[in-house]
């Protein structure tokens, strides 16, 4: 009868995880009795993905409670012990049920990253206080159209769908949309600094603007000329034009345009 040379596996739990002096992950698996005297062993992970479970929930005597610790595969080969993480029953409810072909990454805090098994859409979900969450979606929307969305827990969002990029505020009352037709802005706009406007590209629906400085100079000159006319050349009664122009100039908006 040939002797078995290989590794055998058992399923257990991890009462403790940590790092060795070189920074490599290690863990201790459970054993029989109150004081099993089991030492730490290497905690392995798949290439490109590493995780570390939370400590188990314990009773008042410090003993791990059943079903309240991360499971592990305990591999033994001769006098060597190797450990691989399995699922933690405490946090399975944090992730959505997967479709066939889907995959997910999750944390004990409730955040998860899911790859849809049907269309490959990736959804990242990160909970924040107040029963809200940040959500990032890359893939397809509910109608099967290519979509990328970044949604803040407060309602702020950036979305890309059907040739349109939209940045909106919390309730959607103010937004900026960039699409093939140009840029649409909804909401109050305040510009700090210079603003260059190419008047040559104003479309048929646009309304041209004038330079305030030369317009004011023209109005002031016209008012002065009218005020200098001899008595009787203008109908009696109207107020002087110069004070009228001064009042109008004082009420001009603070925004300035530099036309190119």
Q: Does position 237 have pLDDT exceeding 90, yes or no?
A: no
Whether residue 211 sits in one domain with residue 257 = yes
The confidence score (pLDDT) of residue 252 equals: 63
% the chain with pLDDT above 70? 81
Distance CA 72, CA 87 (A): 8
Q: In this structure, are residues 145 and 137 in contact, taking their beta carbons and an 8 Å threshold?
A: no
- Compare 114 and 65 and report the one with higher pLDDT: 114
Q: Is residue 104 part of a domain?
A: yes
Q: How many domains does the chain have?
A: 3
Whether residue 79 sits in one domain with residue 120 = no
Whether residue 156 sits in one domain with residue 235 = no
- Report the relative pairing of strands 41-44 and 25-28 from DSSP bridges: antiparallel
The confidence score (pLDDT) of residue 224 equals: 82
The confidence score (pLDDT) of residue 123 equals: 97
Q: Is residue 1 part of a domain?
A: no
Q: Is residue 2 part of a domain?
A: no
Q: Is residue 3 part of a domain?
A: no
Write down the residue that tokens 């008012």 correspond to: 223
Residue-number span of the structural domain to which 204 is assigned: 191-260
Q: Does position 105 have pLDDT exceeding 80, yes or no?
A: yes
How far from chain centre, in Å, is Cα 76?
A: 44
Give residue 235's pLDDT band: very low, low, confident or very high (50, 70, 90).
low
Q: In this structure, are residues 219 and 213 in contact, taking their beta carbons and an 8 Å threshold?
A: no
Q: In this structure, are residues 26 and 17 in contact, taking their beta carbons and an 8 Å threshold?
A: yes
Whether residue 178 sits in one domain with residue 96 = yes
Whether residue 110 sits in one domain with residue 38 = no
Whether residue 213 sits in one domain with residue 132 = no
Q: Is residue 257 part of a domain?
A: yes
Domain end residue (candidates: 31, 64, 85):
85
**164-188 confidence digits (pLDDT tens):** 999 999 999 999 999 999 999 999 9
Q: What are phi and psi for residue 92, nearest 5 degrees?
A: -60, -40
Q: What are phi and psi for residue 27, nearest 5 degrees?
A: -155, 165
Q: In this structure, are residues 108 and 92 in contact, taking their beta carbons and an 8 Å threshold?
A: no
Give residue 202's pLDDT band: very low, low, confident or very high (50, 70, 90).
low
Whether residue 103 sits in one domain with residue 40 = no
Q: In this structure, are residues 74 and 29 in contact, taking their beta carbons and an 8 Å threshold?
A: yes
Distance CA 30, CA 20 (A): 19
Q: pTM higher than 0.75, yes or no?
A: no
């Amino acid at each position: 009868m040939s002797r078995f040379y290989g590794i055998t596996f058992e399923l257990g739990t991890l009462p403790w995880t940590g790092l060795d002096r070189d920074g490599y992950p290690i863990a201790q698996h459970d054993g029989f009795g109150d004081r099993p005297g089991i030492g730490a062993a290497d905690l392995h992970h798949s290439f490109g993905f590493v995780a570390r479970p939370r400590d188990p929930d314990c009773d008042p005597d410090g003993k791990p409670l059943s079903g309240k610790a991360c499971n592990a595969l305990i591999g033994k080969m001769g006098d060597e012990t190797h450990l691989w993480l399995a699922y933690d029953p405490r946090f399975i409810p944090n992730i959505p049920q997967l479709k066939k072909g889907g995959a997910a990454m999750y944390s004990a805090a409730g955040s998860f990253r899911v790859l849809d098994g049907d269309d490959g859409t990736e959804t990242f979900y990160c909970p924040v206080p107040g029963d809200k969450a940040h959500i990032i979606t890359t893939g397809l929307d509910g109608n099967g159209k290519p979509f990328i969305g970044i949604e803040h827990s407060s309602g702020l969002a950036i979305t890309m769908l059907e040739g349109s990029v939209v940045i909106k505020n919390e309730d959607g009352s103010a937004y900026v949309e960039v699409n093939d037709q140009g840029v649409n802005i909804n909401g109050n706009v305040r510009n700090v600094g210079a603003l260059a406007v190419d008047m040559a590209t104003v479309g048929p629906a646009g309304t041209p603007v004038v330079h305030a400085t030369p317009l004011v100079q023209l109005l002031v000159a016209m008012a002065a000329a009218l005020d200098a006319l001899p008595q009787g050349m203008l109908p009696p009664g109207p107020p002087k034009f110069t004070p009228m122009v001064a009042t109008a100039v004082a009420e001009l908006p603070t925004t300035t345009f530099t036309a190119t």
